[in-house]
A and B are shown apart, each in its own frame.
Chain A
Amino acid sequence: EAQVTQNPRYLITVTGKKLTVTCSQNMNHEYMSWYRQDPGLGLRQIYYSMNVEVTDKGDVPEGYKVSRKEKRNFPLILESPSPNQTSLYFCASSFLGQSYEQYFGPGTRLTVT
């Protein structure tokens, strides 16, 4: 089954404790990205990648890191999480080009206390 998977689905952590949210897709997509969703603000892109070893900042990259060492995986790293990073996070992937739809993962709800 074609899908984007994210882990964990739910995470409660404390300020400053490094964490990684994994994202994996099995559709051989070149484009992968991370979004955060907050009430009233919609979906905001954090980082995106157009291929292995190619990443770029989205609208809200501060406090986040990503890496793209393999085509299928695109982990999101919070090296020192803060309470303002409490949010719902989505990973998405697509083929390269504006005529292709994004496939979203199920989401990760992160709470930083």
Chain B
Amino acid sequence: QQPVQSPQAVILREGEDAVINCSSSKALYSVHWYRQKHGEAPVFLMILLKGGEQKGHEKISASFNEKKQQSSLYLTASQLSYSGTYFCGTYSYYGGSQGNLIFGKGTKLSVKP
């Protein structure tokens, strides 16, 4: 039940836009997004909840389509600091409880000058 991320990797020039997708085979209550730079711990970006509530990073936007069980992360006017691997995560339980947090395999984003 691991969420599937696409693309696996993307290379951008500074200022270009990118979309990272995350899809699940089961109903989702929430989708979590994290970014990890090489050699560092993952860092929280965004949480999207069923019903439309969002919390997270000011400069990064995301969408959550509950019916399609999909989420997309939108990176606009990319900066060099956006480089890293992006992970989406979903919990095994549907509802407020947590259970097992399952991450996708990640999308590696490289921003070039």
When distances are taken between beta carbons in the complex, the residues of chain A under 8 Å from B41 are 90, 104-107
Q: How many B residues touch the partner, as a band? A: 20 to 34
Within 8 A of A (CB), among B26-54: 29-30, 32, 34, 40-44, 47, 49, 53
Binds A, one of B13-21, B64-72, B74-82, B102-110: B102-110
The answer to whether A101 touches B32, judged by C-beta atoms less than 8 angstroms apart, is yes
A102 to B34, CA, bound (A): 9
When distances are taken between beta carbons in the complex, the residues of chain A under 8 Å from B100 are 45, 48, 56-59
Partner of A101, one of B40, B44, B49: B44
Residues of B within 8 A of A (CB): 2, 29-30, 32, 34, 40-44, 47, 49, 53, 55-56, 87, 89, 91, 95-106
Within 8 A of B (CB), among A46-62: 48, 50, 56-59
A107 to B55, CA, bound (A): 25
Partner of A42, one of B32, B97, B98, B104: B104
Within 8 A of B (CB), among A83-113: 90, 96-107
Q: Number of residues in A with C-beta < 8 Å to the partner?
A: 28
Residues of A within 8 A of B (CB): 31, 33, 35, 40-45, 48, 50, 56-59, 90, 96-107
Partner of B98, one of A41, A90, A97: A97
The answer to whether A43 touches B103, judged by C-beta atoms less than 8 angstroms apart, is yes
The answer to whether B105 touches A102, judged by C-beta atoms less than 8 angstroms apart, is no
When distances are taken between beta carbons in the complex, the residues of chain B under 8 Å from A35 are 103
**Given A98-B96, A101-B32, A40-B105 contact (CB < 8 Å):** yes
